[in-house]
Structures are given as structure tokens and as C-alpha cells.
Structure 1
């Protein structure tokens, strides 16, 4: 097993992926999900935080085999294949948002009475926790794991155009640009994700299910960055509940990846509010020869509660990190469109040097580390130069998307400057009031003014607890800045050949 991934600490299982690929943004993901579901012969397992039956599963306005809307498409698949079993596992407290939507109501009774479609709402977790995994498994042969839910407001292209006429809610209302990411795998790793889905299904009150053994031909995914075969680690977060112990593999994987970095950490996350991540970064930034850290965040959370909790915690942690960054190696950037409209960053992805990456459902917040149910996948390149090169290609492709330039320009500028931060500064378009943009770009994060109430809520983790036990702690025992977590010393990870 690659040295970074350890089943005793930071991964649940490490399995062979006959093929692994990263899918950027929902235009390609929805198209791939539709093709994968169409190929299903026995089983479709869809696990998610949110779901909207009325969205188009694919490019809006395109002609499809079968109905465009995902709710009708699932019904059509059962008509085409009487042996197909479809299971949807969604977050139970999301019942009102999931099933009281007018778009979902027409399907509720039809699916409840359908012999081939079974829906369960997962509430087997502590009060205040959520089921946040986003997984799709087809016949235990191919699978997707990432940050994209099959719901409204997610579809967008990598161009993130201003006023894209196709970017609309099912009711016709336009929404803003949205950046996201998922992954695809085939082979034993897909079966392992199927095992995880079956385990969650059972804990949510479903029946004991047996694995499916139906081989599939590799799926060709338009726009995906393919890595080929590799060993894929699967990491989880699961809060302690009842007789079940808490699982913190994702938290440990974040720390281990940060501690293994030599030159650059590139990450995309919806939030930056995790104390353990900030403390690990503080240690690395304080080192004379530590890595650069580039974090891509949205300008602000997409709801008032997130703004109150997550955005305030980000401001507090960022200011604290400045004290541990004497060499100026930490940056947060926001992507914006040509017209300067903020692009909402929902992806949860991290690349360390040309050596390791992870992608999944977990954010840089305390909930994702210990309180919600999450699933990420990860791999290490080791001495495989092909994989190392692909990791650089992925990072530079993402930066090129955000900066509105060619990927080759990013690669060459990083090689010339020997710095990801300097390359971003050289390539990003500077905006002024009298000089509108000519392409998308990245803008630096600026710490906002924070009210006393917001500071108190963030510092005491009122809305972002570190686990079920933290919810019951007295307020004086909580806090972003309490104590010092045990950060491991820098292990010597196996270097890649140069």
C-alpha cells in the first residue's frame, strides 16, 4: 500500500481502481451519471444530501434517450429493465427540503408503491448532524464519489459564463455560476463504495443487501481527467452514535497530507473553518522550507447561517494564520466571472505537490471532520511518474479554469517562477472600477469586519461543532483557539523519483 494511505488511521479501505478519473463541474458529471445509470443491469445506488426529481440529468435542452428529468428517467429505466433495482438514500432531516418541494411531490407516491424503486431517509445520526455523502454506484462495477448532489442549482460548464441561458432552476429562475467536482472509479474500488452504501442503507433501517457482481466495460466520460489504474483509498467521517464509535479517517487524512507536503498544497473547499486543518497549516507555514498553500473559496457562503458561522470562522482563522506565516506562503482566492460575478465554489478537492490528492464530500469545517457522515477518495502517486504528471495536469487545469487562461500557460508560469502563488499573481487579471474584466480571474480574499456576536459564535463553534460530544460541552470548553491538538511530527513519506 502507498505509504501515505494507512488503513489503520486515514483510510477505511484501499482497493484497486481499474480506472480513476476526476470530473470537473456538473455538466460533465450529470452526463456521465446518466450514461452510467443507463448501463445499469441490476442495481443503482444513489446516496446524497439533497435531491430534486425535476432537474435535467444532462445538458438542458439536449435530446436524450429516455426522459430528460431525473425522476422520470429513473421510472423509465425500470420500464426498460424489469430486473433493475434503484435505491435512493437521502438525509432524513432534509425531508422538508427534499420531499415537500413541489417538484418532488409527484414522485413520492409513485416511488413508494413502486416495486423497483426504494427510497430511505437516513436519520441514524446525532441531533444536528447530517448525512452529507454524495455517492453513485452502478452494479458494484462503476461508481462516483465527490461533492455534486443530483439537485437543482448545480449544473454549470467549466466556462462559468455570465448569464448562461441554460443555467436555470426547474421553475425557470436563473442562478449564478457554480464550481464543483466529483470522481469516477471502476473495479474493486467501486464495489467497496457499494459496500459503504449497503452499510448506510442497513443503518438507516433498510434490509440487508448482498453485493452485486456484474462486470462493466469502462465508461468513457467526456471532459474527465483520467488517471488510469491505481490504488484508491476510501476515507470516512462518521460521528459517534449509539453503540457506534466515531470515525475520523478524513480528518487524519487531511492532517497527513498537509504534513507530507514539500512544495505546494492546492485546495478547493466551500468553507475554511476547521480548527485541526488550520493548526496543521500553521505548523507548516511557520517552517522555513514549508510548502505554499493556495485555497480556493467562494466569496461567501450561500445561505445566511453559513455566512454567520462559516464566513466568520474563516475570517478568524485566516487572521490567526497570518501570525504563523512569516514567509507569506498562504493565500485564499475567490474565482469570479468575466463580469466579476462570484463563482460559488462547492468542490471539495486537495492536491499535494505532484504526489497525492483527495476529493469527496468533506469541507474544511469541523462538521466534516467529526460530526457529519462524509466520504472521500484519495490516492498517492508514489514513484509513478505518469500519476505525478497527471496530478500537475489536474491542478493546472483547475487554475486555468479559474484564471481564464490555457493550462499550458499555468504550467509554464509555475515552472518559470517556481511558485504557484507567484504564477497566480502573474496570470490573474487585476480589476478596477474603470477597467472591466476580459476573462474570468481569481481575486484575493480580504478579511471583512466582524461583529462581536459573529466573533463569539465562531470562536465558540456554536454552529460548527467538532462532534456530537462537543454539542454538549459547556461553552467555556469550546472554541476555535482552545488548546493545541496533537499534530504529528513530519513523517518521511516516500518521495517520487525525479
Structure 2
């Protein structure tokens, strides 16, 4: 099976993982990846939306030193050179979205790092421009020796590091070579080992060639993977599903598996859906939620979002769409089963949610790069992985999925894990848990709908900055596009409010 053959319209590949583990927040993830990359024997393949060579992975030298020193550098840039100097047969391949390449000129020592990478025979760095105008390469994948891989929402770049405590004004949450601190940040990713990693390696090699790189041969079989030492896996011998989004580009066909998978997973929910997403602006996802809520005995749906999107353009487009979709969904949700909550830390500062995950009935767990917005459904290059405990041989995955949901709720509510478990044992409603949780520390605040300006309504209704398909970028006002397009399940709130 090659990279363009899918198992179904919603899944590219199923493959078993000897081990799998979900890492919460980037502090642990970066430290684990430092250990994993140190164990690399043949190849490290980094695929991402952004990389910042100035970021610190974990312990090590923090000053500029020769890469042959015994103690590893802490910064990503020198660390990759140190690895290649220590293992002369190691290949490092880095693929980054091409947009924003000029901003590297403003990142100080990053230009020096990239020059040193370019001069090193073991490292090849490429910009990915293999997509239509207006689209982006948004995957966040790492593959080591084709035996260990990562897929999720965490980029190896600045302004991402944080701990689950999300401490106010944490001095460790500092921009590279700056005294300026950034705000609390929440994220997730999944580690996999074995056949599932080999599948992600194939996907990565295919993307490398599409982006103009020389073909990469699969790595030779080896005895051990780069699984971080001392990390006890949450899942063992579990089947992993992989789904993609990709725009058509030259001879590369489009893929909309992630959109189809969202619709399937929402439709099958019997009791609840717990989800985290940077945005809530997808017409397809909102319609699937509204249709499920309109049926008898609907599930409880809890969505964790940031208070607002980053940047004024995204705020106008994504925040406005969220308000409009919430109004439209509310028409089909008289019992109030759908709720959006905003996490804040103990000081009351909103925590930025960058994670992209969904748990359905403690049976399905999905983690990836795709947000609940239109771009992730049809424009950008995305990859999600998921575990379905209802699949043959996966029944043992249900308990770890449940424990992960409890862990995330404990992080966001500031409650001890045991207290969350006890509360949900008495009353399974997550909404009740959140509303009755203590308010003195970390907590989840209810998302409050605000009034939109006419400009915001127009931008949201027509999805001007968040189209579903590349061709819609050039037809901004059309009945075939927008949150409330002709024939869709949801109606524009402005239309039904007039009645």
C-alpha cells in the first residue's frame, strides 16, 4: 500500500503499535524527545509547521560550544549537529512549511544555526511549498529510525514550552534570548512505536519527495527503538488509525479523511464527547454536532477552547465563526448538552489551548494536528492518529483512554485526579463536574457569547479567511461556501432570528 491508498474515506492506514503514549504539555515532550533523538541510530525526520533552532529541549550546555563536547547542547540547533558529530552515519532531515521563511532573519542566531546545518553533510533542511496558494503544511510529526514516531499538536518552536501547572509568570516560559515571558500554553501529542511508526515514516518520506527532496530509503531493521528510557507506556500492543488532510497539488490527489473521521466519531457518540481544539469554526464539525444533538438522548459535548485566537485577523475570522456556530447549534440543543469552556490558571490568566484531541465515550481517542476549523478539513496538510477500543484486539485501550480524560479534566479544573474520578463516579456529567469544581485555583470558565460587528458576521458567515477548499479562496461570496451554505443542516442565526 502506498501513501495514496486509503483503507476507507476516513482512514488512511491501520497499524499496530507495540507501545503508545500521550504526552501532555511541551515541557515533558521536549525532554522526552531529547532522550529519544539521542538514541537515534539511522535517521531523524522532523516534519512541522515551524521550527526554532534557538529553543531549549532539556538539560545540557546553554552556551555556544563545539559540537564534539561530551555534554549535549540544550538548544535544538547545536543539538542536531552534536548528534551527527557523535554518530557520523546519522541522517537528519527537517521539513518546514515555507511561509514565514523570511522571519528567520529576525530570529538572531537561528540564521547561524541554519547555516551550520546547511554546511553539515548529515543534515538537510527543506521548506515545504508543495501546496496551492493560501494553504499550509501543518503536520507535526517526528520519526526516528522508522521505529519510533510522534504525531500531534506540538511544534518544536518558541512560545510552546509549559508545564501542566501553567504557573503565572513562570520565568522558564521565556522567549529565546529575551527577558520577555509568554503566557500559559496547553498542548498534546502522541508517541508510537513499531508498525504505526513505520506507517508514519512512510507518510513522511512521501511528503519529503512531494516537497522536492531526494527519495529516502526505509531504514534498515534494528533491534531497539528510540522509545525514551524510563517512560512507561499508557498503551501496549494497540492498533493505531491514521487520517490525513491534503489539498490536491499537481499529481498528488486531495485527501479529506480527517473531516470524514470527525463526522463518524461525532455520529457514534452515545454518552459524551470531550474535545480540545485551538478553534471551533468548522462547518462540517458543527453540523455533525448539531445533527447528533437533534437526535433523541443526545450525548454531552464539552469543548475546551482558548478564550480568543491569536492575532487580530484570526480573532475576526475564527472567534466570529465560533459565536455564529454556537448560536446555530443552540437551536438544536434545548437541553444545553453542548458547552465550550475556557481554561484559566490560578491567577485567572487564560491558558492558550493549542491541542487538537477528542475522546468519545472513553472508547475513541484521537490526537493530531487538525483543528476544528475549515482549513484543517480541506486546505492544509494535516495528520491525526487515533485509537478505537471497539476495534478487534483493542478492548484493553478503553481504561487508559478513560484515565487520560480524567487527567485532562484534573489539569484544567485544578482538582486532584482522585477527586475527579470520584466525582464522575457519582455523576458522569462533565459539565456538572466543571461547574461544581473549586474556583480558587485553576479552573474552566464558561465561554460567553458576545455581540459581533457586522464586519465580523460577514467574515464568519462567508468563511473569508477559513475556506473549506482551495478553490474557495477565489470565490469569497458564494452559496457553495461559508458556515451556512445552501443545503446545509445549520441555518444562519440572522435568518432564523428574523422569523
Partner of 2:396: 386
Partner of 1:471: 473
Over 3 Å counting, the alpha-carbon distance change for 1:301 and 1:242 in structure 2 is same
- Which deviates the most, 381-390 or 342-351? 381-390
Partner of 1:139: 145
Over 3 Å counting, the alpha-carbon distance change for 1:107 and 1:114 in structure 2 is same
Partner of 1:439: 441
Partner of 2:192: 185
SS at match of 1:11: coil
1:203 to 186, 207, 210: 210
Partner of 1:157: 163
| Residue 103 in structure 1 maps to residue 109 in structure 2 | yes
Over 3 Å counting, the alpha-carbon distance change for 1:424 and 1:224 in structure 2 is farther
| Residue 402 in structure 1 maps to residue 405 in structure 2 | no
| Residue 194 in structure 1 maps to residue 196 in structure 2 | no
Over 3 Å counting, the alpha-carbon distance change for 1:21 and 1:264 in structure 2 is same
RMSD: 2.0
1:239 to 244, 247, 250: 247
Structure 2: gaps spanning 5 or more residues: 1-5, 64-69, 491-499
1:326 to 317, 328, 334: 334
| Residue 377 in structure 1 maps to residue 380 in structure 2 | no
Partner of 2:173: 167
Offset, 1:288: 2.3
SS at match of 1:93: coil
Aligned partners of 1:462, 1:307: CA distance in 2, in Å?
13
| Residue 262 in structure 1 maps to residue 300 in structure 2 | no
SS at match of 1:413: helix
Q: Structure 1 length normalisation: TM-score?
A: 0.92
Over 3 Å counting, the alpha-carbon distance change for 1:427 and 1:386 in structure 2 is farther
Over 3 Å counting, the alpha-carbon distance change for 1:28 and 1:202 in structure 2 is same
CA deviations over 1:81-124 (Å, ceiling 9, x no partner) = 10001010000123123465223111222222221000010001
Offset, 1:221: 6.6
Partner of 1:458: 460
Aligned partners of 1:221, 1:482: CA distance in 2, in Å?
51
Aligned partners of 2:231, 2:276: CA distance in 1, in Å?
19
Matches within 5 A, 1:13-412: 13-58=13-58, 65-98=71-104, 100-170=106-176, 171-213=178-220, 214-217=222-225, 219-220=227-228, 226-382=234-390, 384-412=394-422
Aligned partners of 1:169, 1:222: CA distance in 2, in Å?
29
Contact 1:146 1:376 in 2 (8 A): yes
Over 3 Å counting, the alpha-carbon distance change for 1:227 and 1:391 in structure 2 is same
Aligned partners of 2:232, 2:459: CA distance in 1, in Å?
40
Partner of 2:493: none
Offset, 1:420: 1.6
Aligned partners of 1:139, 1:473: CA distance in 2, in Å?
44
Aligned partners of 2:105, 2:384: CA distance in 1, in Å?
27
SS at match of 2:273: strand
Aligned partners of 2:52, 2:473: CA distance in 1, in Å?
31
Contact 1:337 1:343 in 2 (8 A): yes
| Residue 449 in structure 1 maps to residue 459 in structure 2 | no
Contact 1:148 1:181 in 2 (8 A): yes
Offset, 1:333: 0.3
Partner of 2:3: none
Contact 2:60 2:71 in 1 (8 A): no
Over 3 Å counting, the alpha-carbon distance change for 1:155 and 1:270 in structure 2 is same
Partner of 2:497: none
Offset, 1:242: 2.0
Q: Structure 2 length normalisation: TM-score?
A: 0.91
Aligned partners of 1:411, 1:143: CA distance in 2, in Å?
31
Partner of 2:425: 415
Structure 1: gaps spanning 5 or more residues: 1-5, 430-437, 488-498
Offset, 1:476: 2.8
Aligned partners of 1:285, 1:19: CA distance in 2, in Å?
35
Offset, 1:59: 6.1
Aligned partners of 2:432, 2:404: CA distance in 1, in Å?
18
SS at match of 1:453: helix
> How many residues get paired?
474
